Structure 1
């Protein structure tokens, strides 16, 4: 993306390195506040109606809300593991993209999520929409899977599954989740942040599609050539495909070259 390259030259100094780790630490602090009872999960989510009522802090607080509030020790371990995977994927993306591009990707997701929430609320005023930071996790995962499709994760610590298949599973569940949402406003709020993924990977996805089309065309032509006779006898019509045991040779007749099989040549 040439525009990003130009922006990086001018604004690259403003990029925050290891930004996802900063986000995780902030979520950990908020989680500690929830354990002490000083903070409530629902009080931090982005709720457009609440923002209209004056709770403006929700425009930022929803970003540092933990993915969920563990109720058991096992769930707390799972949350720690979740944060570790999130950090690992962000490190990979930052290494491949650079700090500035990762920052812009996350910022684009956030801006689109906020815009989608308010647009969705205006479209469906009777509904009460809310936005949690799950879109950031899924967006990071989709970006990671697109750039590293063959990396394997161990499902249940046993079954190796390539990350690209996990991404397709998530996309499939997301599709059905959108269909199950009660209103158009909910669907807009749900889908809006993922436009960032399309913006960043549009060229790559288009190139991948074109490559697959070229490969399919080449395979079709190869199979067609494999089933097309190279030599066809002018006398009996036998070919190297229908009679591979015959010997086909060419001879000059006037100004033309004609093909004859060994049987027809013996008859002459």
Structure 2
């Protein structure tokens, strides 16, 4: 977290406010492009060999989601949810951290594409794979995981009727990706796993990097154990540093407590002015306390 704070102090002024507006614009562009020309993805996917030949626009256009004309309603719905969770994260984290989270996912995808191409001469985010895997949609899932970790009890209306908390949707989404990975392994397409894993890598880094590890440190565990032991034994230290016994009940007449005898019972007197507690021996024999 300190590292992020240093980065924000140094580069925070370059962060793009309201980033989600420009991300949602990619969905609108996708609808227009693929409605006009369904095969436009041939010129937009992250074909590394073409990028190396000068088609640098592919470093950005591979994010445009492939949208079939009949999917417009779901595209608008997905874009709305994307916009909502993006703004919620920006309000919770600040503009710089949201920018860092989103663009790190984009950069991870690009680096993975170049590494795989350099080793296997394959384009894992190429033209045809762009139809199967929309990097923007996977980044959307990564942001939803972050949203669920930040607002776990936020409710969504599944099918506009069934209320369900964000944390449960995130678990379901994670199970879906595990199933997708299983299917890719089953057909032997191992490189297809890389876009999914890489896009979710920034959430894993976020989750691990924002945990409070101090609470599980040996010193903290020892402190908690000592505290629980003192609570159990009823021991505390007063202002002079001397141990005093903290009890739940004490007779206002004889001063006996539950530590003196396990069979003692205590009651408050309704006729006394104030919170005065008595053992059963003095409950009916004491002199009632009255305010002057």
TM-score calculated relative to the size of structure 1: 0.69
Q: CA RMSD in A?
A: 3.1
Structure 2 unmatched runs, 5+: 233-260, 264-292
Q: State the Cα deviation string for residues 183-214 of structure 1 (Å, max 9, x = none).
A: 44332333112221122220445759959xx8
- In 2 relative to 1, CA 52–69 (structure 1 residues): closer, same or farther, beyond 3 Å? same
After superposition, give the CA deviation of every residue in 1:62-91 in whole Å (9 maximum; x if it has no partner): 12x13x41333xx31221111111000001
Partner of 1:191: 197
- Number of equivalent positions: 215
- Shift of the 54–92 alpha-carbon distance from structure 1 to 2, 3 Å rule, reads same
1:106 aligns with 2:102: yes
Determine helix, strand or coil for the equivalent of 2:87: helix
Which residue number corresponds to residue 47 of structure 1? 47
Residue 16 of structure 1 is matched in structure 2 by 16
Hey, what does 1:151 align to over in structure 2? 154
Q: d(CA) in 2 for partners of 1:177 and 1:209? A: 36
Structure that is richer in helix per residue? 1
**Cα distance 1:30–1:171, how it changes in 2: closer, same or farther (>3 A)?**
closer
- Counterparts of 1:128-139 in structure 2, within 5 Å, are 128-130=123-125, 132=134, 133-139=136-142
Structure 1 match to 2:68: 70
Q: Unpaired segments of 5 or more residues in structure 1? A: 226-246, 250-268
Q: Distance in 2 between matches of 1:171 and 1:208?
A: 28
Alignment match, 1:253: none
Q: Deviations over 1:2-44 (max 9, x none)?
A: 1111121121111101112112124313422333339713432
Contact persistence 2:89–2:147 (CA under 8 A): yes
Name the structure, 1 or 2, with higher relative contact order (CA <8 Å, separation 6+): 1
In 2, distance between residues paired with 1:26 and 1:79?
11
Which of 80, 83, 95 is 1:84 aligned to?
A: 80
CA distance in 2, matches of 1:98, 1:191: 26
Query: Cα gap change, 1:38/1:175 in structure 2, threshold over 3 Å: closer, same or farther?
Result: closer
Corresponding residue of 1:230: none
Counterpart Cα distance in 2 of 1:25 and 1:39: 20
Answer yes or no: is 1:162 the counterpart of 2:158: no
Q: How does 1:213-224 map to 2 (within 5 A)?
A: none
Q: C-alpha displacement at 1:97, in angstroms?
A: 0.3
- Which whole-Å CA distance do the structure 1 matches of 2:210 and 2:11 have between them? 25
Residue 101 of structure 1: how far off its partner (Å): 0.6
Separation in 2 of the partners of 1:248 and 1:11? 65
Contact 1:121 1:185 in 2 (8 A): no
